[in-house]
Amino acid sequence: MVLDEKNVVQPDLVFVSAANAGLLERRGIIGPPDLLVEIISASSLRRDRYDKRELYARFAVKEYWLADVANRSLEVLTLKPAAYQLLSCATNAGRIRSEVLPGFELDLASLD
């Protein structure tokens, strides 16, 4: 995913809506997607939780999900004018929802 000439990243999962399909090019996604997911590991914790959060907010990624497999949790952050705000969070059997994907809901217990 190319955000600009200095910021090229490879998120774990990315969603680009049909309205933004123009971002999809042969060489990758050029610009901010609608939603992306980072799967946190011990080695990527700081980078995913802080550095990338700031980067994705600066480039106006509408929704940023943080999946923490070790703690069986998922956080959904939605971009507001100033910064990301927590939209929903679940651990083990809780449910998350999305503003980018209206009507989407996920119960973490279903992932067992």
The per-residue pLDDT for range 54-111, each reduced to its tens digit, is 999 999 999 999 999 888 999 999 999 979 999 999 998 899 999 999 999 999 888 7
Residue at token pair 């999962």: 13
What pTM does this model have? 0.91
Q: What is the predicted pLDDT for the residue at 110?
A: 86
Domains of the chain (ranges, CATH numbers): 2-111 (3.90.1570.10)
Burial 36-65 (b: 16+ CB within 10 A, else e): bbbebeeeeeeebeeebbebbbeeebbbbb
Closest CA to 106 of 67, 53, 52: 67
Q: Can you tell me the distance from the alpha carbon of 38 to that of 26, in angstroms, rounded to the nearest whole number? A: 23
